[in-house]
Structure 1
């Protein structure tokens, strides 16, 4: 099977990750596959901050356009006042068709909708705290003639992921299980638009309701696990146009003191968790040194 290329890059960000996102955009312009468009979605209120990043390969859109009209963010003060007033750290969305929706769930719905509406069949999800560190050839996204799908077996003992696997079972009409044989969560994640549309259609058929309503009513799910389970256990990997890949395309620094990792062959990005308290200069320096090593 021929893999469509180049992909559409998809990133969701917000004002708190502006510096990280700026670095991602700089490195994407330098190292992303030629011709790849970049969709950057941020809250409408943050659009003026991110506007300098738009242009060229990059389109800037308000995140609100990726949500139905009946799901809207509840106005809340900034992080400091949230802490003082004991308000939720994450955003909360008001649903006019059910109970409030956590910001993390709304974000995953945005990513699914962005991928379903992408201009190309291949999409590459990039969080704003990642950066490219060497040129990513279009061929790196394929494996044995199929689009690679991050698939990591052996994570059955991860209790945090069990609810996400159970949610996938429920939403996709599969036998209930705490583990579907692999996890599908990574930093550089490739999907096929056609599969995302099929996934949403499947959720609608199984639940008997609008798929976005069904997702908004789900208290805990992972978009990456949901997509991976659909491709492997509903369609079958080959039929989905994917091949399972157990090696990440991205090095990741998960905690303080991780140093500057060696960029191993076959890895093209570096993720530095945005929760790590690093100055902008320190983060840029780590990425710069990783580029030099790469």
Structure 2
């Protein structure tokens, strides 16, 4: 069984709705989709609930001492997450914590983490995530270089969180918007953090806000878990337009982006801060036919 995990928020509702449409059309096998949202967004996202889709409030995932509030210095209805153990957190931090925390609530063996700005383009069977007894695991060896300062910091901070020696620098990239994890590995990861630091894992995680849950999981699975039950695959299942430096969100740009998909790509991700016409994206993707 597979738990499809998406952390989202109200401003991304239309994108998340498109994701749900594409999953309902194309995702095959035994799966349940968990939408992880802030308590104040539960009512909005409840419109997407159904037989295969469950809305989960972060109140059921977070410790009592981590809560969100309106950002007093924002003019755009932004939220901020406050706790006694960190500087204020933003939505992208909260979404990462949700993706890890949900593992403690799941019975499914596999977690397929999909961002809310992803669209599935063709049929995909969740059973194909298994390679024998192993899980298909996205790992791009030496995919990070010294010029990628943000990635380098995420990798370094992941190592510190996991108790890995600072001299053991990792240049492997584990980041994508459509990736499979083992649920038990996530549970082991959270226990490992608490064993290393002697505190609740959320408290340990938020001490440094420069975090990547993908990097944390990847380094744990490969360096602590020695890659057991993970079958490395450097080919991403999702082609991502991270920003406008690697794509054009115009109608013509989207056509070019789609034309450049490899045979392994079953989905695309257009980052939410890349301004895209949702209806144009819906038309292009839901009617997409592989070449």
- Do these two structures clear the TM 0.5 threshold for a shared fold by scoring above it? yes
Partner of 2:32: 37
Question: Residue 34 of structure 2: SS of its match in structure 1?
Answer: strand
**Structure 2 residue aligned with 1:94, among 72, 77, 82?**
82
In 1, Cα distance between the equivalents of 2:78 and 2:140?
Answer: 28
Matches within 5 A, 1:12-161: 12-76=7-71, 81-82=75-76, 91-143=79-131, 145-154=133-142, 155-157=144-146, 158-161=148-151
Question: Residue 124 of structure 2: SS of its match in structure 1?
Answer: coil
Question: Residue 293 of structure 1: SS of its match in structure 2?
Answer: coil
Contact 1:93–1:100 (CA under 8 A) maintained in structure 2: yes
Partner of 1:271: 269
Instruction: Say if 1:159 and 1:96 are closer, same or farther in 2 by CA, change over 3 A.
Output: closer
**Structure 2 residue aligned with 1:10, among 5, 14, 24?**
5
Question: Residue 74 of structure 1: SS of its match in structure 2?
Answer: strand
In 2, Cα distance between the equivalents of 1:28 and 1:11?
Answer: 12
Displacement over 4 Å in runs of 4+: none
Matches within 5 A, 1:160-199: 160-177=150-167, 179-199=169-189
Contact 2:118–2:269 (CA under 8 A) maintained in structure 1: yes
In structure 2, stretches of 5+ residues that fail to align are none
In 2, Cα distance between the equivalents of 1:109 and 1:182?
Answer: 22
List per-residue Cα deviations over 1:172-194 (Å, max 9, x = no partner).
Answer: 11111484130100121111111
Contact 1:165–1:178 (CA under 8 A) maintained in structure 2: no
How many residues are treated as equivalent by the alignment? 279
TM-score between the two structures when normalised by the length of structure 1 = 0.88
Contact 1:70–1:97 (CA under 8 A) maintained in structure 2: no
List per-residue Cα deviations over 1:28-55 (Å, max 9, x = no partner).
Answer: 1111122200001122222222212101
**Structure 2 residue aligned with 1:229, among 210, 215, 219?**
219
TM-score between the two structures when normalised by the length of structure 2 = 0.88
Instruction: Say if 1:51 and 1:139 are closer, same or farther in 2 by CA, change over 3 A.
Output: closer
Contact 2:111–2:181 (CA under 8 A) maintained in structure 1: yes
In structure 1, stretches of 5+ residues that fail to align are 1-5, 83-88
State the 1:206 CA deviation: 1.2
In 1, Cα distance between the equivalents of 2:240 and 2:88?
Answer: 33
Contact 2:29–2:127 (CA under 8 A) maintained in structure 1: no
State the 1:24 CA deviation: 0.6
In 1, Cα distance between the equivalents of 2:59 and 2:73?
Answer: 19
CA RMSD after TM alignment: 2.1
In 1, Cα distance between the equivalents of 2:128 and 2:29?
Answer: 13
List per-residue Cα deviations over 1:69-93 (Å, max 9, x = no partner).
Answer: 10001223797x24xxxxxx96321
